[in-house]
Structure 1
């Protein structure tokens, strides 16, 4: 059988990079006739791409060809923070010529495998234009939930038809959709989908998703069965192949003092608070969180990042003292039951038997990790699709405790204020031993593990994906998916 080559193009964002590398590794382990080249775009304001590449193990590098493509975008950090998605979109557009040249070099190399197609990140769909130039189909790797995919596609269709009233997005209102059993509050729909300022970006974003010949979702069938079915019924080829988790990288690191501290705690006794790489709160909110943690009396492990710089102050150094922003004496009073740390080895902490609950921003990777390890979440979403993830967990699936659903922090520039009473209640609720939510999460954890086995649903969909990729043929604008035919209208 002839070997097939795939070109994979992630978005230049660390959370997307990690899951894309893991997914590519999963693909090539599943099918030895695949050759995969990953073209990584380096966005100037975020140097994490380079450091992440340096951390990739040699065993993965032996299986995957990884090429770093420098961006032609100017380094405008303030623009990046205010309009990250637009910044990424323009960065992807400007990198098209580099991708075109890289793929030309790949396909012209002696003995190069046949180019079968592109797999592009959900924010890199502009690269479908390049795939079209090479006469090969493209699929999208969607790094979030099937539910958020379905809602965004639904809103895009409404806006195409001028049937969506964006004036209600800021003042309340609900959105009826087949994706959820109940109407979705517009306050939890990502702002870029409903605000007029983002209309051009969202038009291009949704159109890019609809141009793809299939969408690979980092989820699994049993967890999002209703949403996956609804998206599939709309005519989209969906491949739920998750959860795709970066577990090996964490497990290879040396044992930290944080894990040693957890070793000395009772089972399921520690609440873990962590809000992702961009989850920062102002000093007032940090103090309110500290009051709540202390009053709850629960053992805790708190990953605390430096608050965003105040207006007019550009000093955003990562170095800071916890004592400067926490209530006076907090660290001394809680020394026997808790730890405040900076960066956290999240997967190791969630995997630890002492961890009993997770106060999370509901980034999709964090949601999947909590499910995989059976740790219930208290939701505190901050931006992007995290509000919708929280809504799905709390209201639709009833598998999480609510602290809030629509905090709406906009790129670390501040947001709503959550009281200590509300935070304390969320902590107490999620840490209760006799808890229906805890039991649901535990059962879903078992199902999650089975989905990844050879007889599991995700393994099945991965095989279906590889079959479709390797069997696709482009001929006069018609692409063949096994026995099914789809007209290329992109």
Structure 2
């Protein structure tokens, strides 16, 4: 009989929600004392979130121990750079009301064991404090990135150094979680912004107040960063629980006909011959940049599968599939490449990476995509766009030697932060593709080893399995 209730508060974005739900599944499978309620905040820019949650809820048996609660609508915050964080803050009263109602109506009676809040939802720790229960942070980014945020906060609060000062500088930072010095040019854009920086600093302070940091990574991948946390070199950080890789390998396609068409095309390609270009649910480019990518693909001559989507960046929406690809691609491109290339819209990323014909992956370096490239052993060419992706690219290429660079400091969000739009030449793209498709190197050998380790770490006795057991023990000990 389940006795302990955990409340999960994920960020309402598909790249945050999916790993949170997959992690919840693992928790209730490992311990039948736990029940989990996932509170879902509403937002308007990604309608697929609701469909995803409904399909997950329908697929779980009633005795599984996981349920979803939709929070009420909140008034739309003012349209500015930090509106998303304002929207999350506006949900605090709804979270308090939902948890109060949940515990009052629980049958059989349960004890509230704590909150697990997404890295962007640290304001909800204040609600947990009102209920007198601990909070854990769930990070969908890597351990080294958390170390970066804690270091930036330490520099600001204890040494009077503001990361905004590093913008456009050639400075390099010595981070406790990295072996190599970090160039300031690959710091996340929000760390250079006077509106975003106070939000990030407050988040990092709350990390230190939490009961633990749950990270979607594993010891074999980020051993130095994790060891640094455990040795307390990050100055008063809470316990770290690396529990990854937490992945949803089934995808979420609504168009099974198109998906099977993609897989059938891959079936007809030679092993390890196809370079896959995919930039996540937020990835898109200007028309001029699309033409450079097309030119690079023609010049390099490799077989390719290219997930190309139409930008709605300036309108504040997520990309959508083009109604006619000929509107954006160079004249005659589709005809000239018909024998060895395929341009698509949304891609079933996990299924594509699992296919034996795929030999390279040009990626935006979202952490979920990085973990998938490792899980399937597909070499990575880094082309970051937003958020912490530039930092992730540095970690993959320089720190861990697992990727090749296309342009590590490319920023699709430059316009939002007041700069001119960035650009990558066809020559740079071509060089990156040629390099990632060359499999005779130490990088490929290391990736093969990590592929095996990424699976073993989740099995009984693996490092992530043991870490999750420690986390569950800590949660249950809270109730003693």
User: After TM superposition, is the score higher than 0.5?
Assistant: yes
Larger deviation: 199-208 or 262-271?
Answer: 199-208
TM-score when normalising by structure 1: 0.90
* Cα pair distance change 1:395/1:223, threshold 3 Å: same
Counterpart in the other structure of 1:434: 440
Partner Cα separation in structure 2 for residue 466 and residue 240 of structure 1: 13
2:152 equivalent to 1:155: yes
Pairwise mapping of residues 435-450 of structure 1 onto structure 2 (< 5 A)? 435-450=441-456
Larger deviation: 362-371 or 426-435?
Answer: 426-435
Counterpart in the other structure of 2:344: 341
Counterpart in the other structure of 2:24: 24
Unaligned regions of 5+ residues in structure 1, if any? 475-490
* Cα pair distance change 1:168/1:317, threshold 3 Å: closer
Pairwise mapping of residues 403-418 of structure 1 onto structure 2 (< 5 A)? 403-410=406-413, 415-418=421-424
- Deviations for 1:95-133, whole angstroms, at most 9, x for unmatched residues? 111111111111112423111111000011111111111
Counterpart in the other structure of 2:472: 466
Deviation at 1:309, TM superposition (A): 6.9
- Deviations for 1:285-309, whole angstroms, at most 9, x for unmatched residues? 1000000011110000000011447
Larger deviation: 156-165 or 453-462?
Answer: 156-165
Contact 2:404–2:432 under 8 Å retained in 1: yes
Pairwise mapping of residues 337-376 of structure 1 onto structure 2 (< 5 A)? 337-376=340-379
Pairwise mapping of residues 172-191 of structure 1 onto structure 2 (< 5 A)? 172-191=170-189
* Cα pair distance change 1:137/1:317, threshold 3 Å: closer
- Deviations for 1:421-479, whole angstroms, at most 9, x for unmatched residues? 111011011101313212211111011111111121111101110000110159xxxxx
Contact 2:383–2:410 under 8 Å retained in 1: yes
Partner Cα separation in structure 1 for residue 245 and residue 101 of structure 2: 33
* Cα pair distance change 1:61/1:175, threshold 3 Å: farther
Contact 1:44–1:73 under 8 Å retained in 2: no
Contact 2:274–2:303 under 8 Å retained in 1: yes
Larger deviation: 370-379 or 431-440?
Answer: 431-440
> In structure 1, the residue corresponding to 2:362 is in which secondary structure?
strand
Larger deviation: 180-189 or 380-389?
Answer: 180-189
Deviation at 1:91, TM superposition (A): 1.4
Deviation at 1:236, TM superposition (A): 2.4
Deviation at 1:75, TM superposition (A): 6.7
- Deviations for 1:171-230, whole angstroms, at most 9, x for unmatched residues? 231111111112111111112224323232123222222221101000001110100111
Contact 2:171–2:183 under 8 Å retained in 1: yes
Deviation at 1:143, TM superposition (A): 0.6
> In structure 1, the residue corresponding to 2:35 is in which secondary structure?
strand
Counterpart in the other structure of 1:394: 397
Counterpart in the other structure of 1:286: 290
* Cα pair distance change 1:314/1:187, threshold 3 Å: closer
Pairwise mapping of residues 200-279 of structure 1 onto structure 2 (< 5 A)? 200-232=198-230, 233=232, 234=234, 235-249=237-251, 256-279=260-283
* Cα pair distance change 1:8/1:323, threshold 3 Å: same
Deviation at 1:46, TM superposition (A): 3.0
Unaligned regions of 5+ residues in structure 2, if any? none
TM-score when normalising by structure 2: 0.92
Partner Cα separation in structure 1 for residue 126 and residue 318 of structure 2: 41
Contact 2:284–2:319 under 8 Å retained in 1: no
Partner Cα separation in structure 2 for residue 97 and residue 283 of structure 1: 43
Partner Cα separation in structure 1 for residue 266 and residue 179 of structure 2: 39
Deviation at 1:45, TM superposition (A): 3.0
Counterpart in the other structure of 2:37: 37
Partner Cα separation in structure 1 for residue 272 and residue 437 of structure 2: 8
> In structure 1, the residue corresponding to 2:309 is in which secondary structure?
coil
- Deviations for 1:31-55, whole angstroms, at most 9, x for unmatched residues? 1111101001112333232122123
2:19 equivalent to 1:13: no
Counterpart in the other structure of 1:98: 94
Question: Which of 125, 136, 141 is residue 144 of structure 1 equivalent to?
Answer: 141
Partner Cα separation in structure 1 for residue 317 and residue 170 of structure 2: 35
Counterpart in the other structure of 1:456: 462
> In structure 1, the residue corresponding to 2:356 is in which secondary structure?
coil
